[in-house]
Amino acid sequence: GDVLGGGDEDVIVPGTASGFAPFEFINEDDELVGFDIDLAEETIDRAGYEVGDWTDTEFDSLIPSLTEGNIDFIAAGMTINEERQEAIAFSDPYYESDQAVLVAAGSDVDASAVEDLEGLIVGAQGGTTGLDEAEALVEEGILEEDDLRQYDNYPLAVEDLENGNVDAIIIDIPVAQNFASGRDVEVAFEIETGEVFGFGMRQDDDRLGDINDALGEIRDDGTYEDLIETWFE
């Protein structure tokens, strides 16, 4: 059939949004690395396709890039949800995560539940489920619409936390913990959302079946566990 992206049935062109360690980030040698990068490449390879050149863009542009055919595959810690499923298809889930609320280390923000965020300025990366959570808190009357901050990427949000320009950010737990281990920020509390991550592909891309078969194999033979140990422990 017609294949967009690389335009070649044999090649799957992956896209991500770095600055989301340990899932995808740029290391000291200026290379794109992380759990998603390794798992995506292993999955595409085992499914019998060639891995195309990675595109690294803003999280919010990944779905349009995929549907427009600039990339064939999203590996970006992307939560599977109904809204996104209207536009794209997802692989079987490959990771489970909840959200965390990150604050400046030693800040006077004393928050242990969402209600405690009342009156604060709260941010998240654009297009994320973290931002959806913040918007839900506006709906609930806990946050003011004007007090929401939307960032192009999470590293910019963390900088603003350190500078005191935002009081709290909502971000996936493993990434929150990663920032907390290297930056001047700490996890205040967690929000249980029960999200699962999947790889994204176009709805009409019939290579998705091979991708799911390969993911299953990678779990069954211990490769998945090895990658978890490499990137999370």
**11 vs 155, which CB is nearer to ligand GLN?**
155
- Cβ within 8 Å of residue 169, ≥6 positions away: 101, 102, 122, 123, 124, 130, 154, 157, 158, 160, 161
What whole-number distance in Å separates Cα of residue 43 and Cα of residue 24?
A: 16
Residue number, 69 or 155, with CB nearest to ligand GLN: 155
Is 128 near ligand GLN (CB under 6 A)?
yes
77 binds ligand GLN (CB under 6 A): yes
Q: Which stretch binds ligand GLN (CB under 6 A): 128-136, 140-148, 200-208, 220-228?
A: 128-136
**79 is a site residue for ligand GLN (CB under 6 A):** yes
Q: Is 88 in the site for ligand GLN (CB under 6 A)?
A: no
Q: How far is the CB of 135 from ligand GLN (least distance, A)?
A: 12
Instruction: Decide if residue 174 touches ligand GLN (CB under 6 A).
Output: no
The kind and range of the H/E element at 41 are helix 35-46
Helix (H, G, I), strand (E, B) or coil at 70: coil
Q: Which stretch binds ligand GLN (CB under 6 A): 76-84, 115-123, 198-206, 219-227?
A: 76-84
Query: E strands of the chain, at which residues?
Result: 11-12, 14-16, 25-26, 32-33, 50-51, 55-56, 73-74, 89-90, 95-104, 122-125, 148-151, 168-172, 185-197, 200-201
Q: Which is nearer to ligand GLN, 78 or 188 (CB)?
A: 78
Q: Do 201 and 71 touch, CB atoms closer than 8 A?
A: no
76 binds ligand GLN (CB under 6 A): yes
Please state, in angstroms and rounded to a whole number, the distance separating the CA atoms of residues 97 and 99: 7
> From the CB of 134, what's the least distance to ligand GLN, in Å?
12
Taking CB under 6 A as the rule, does residue 211 contact ligand GLN? no
Interacting residues with ligand GLN (CB under 6 A): 17, 20, 59, 76-79, 125, 128-130, 172, 195
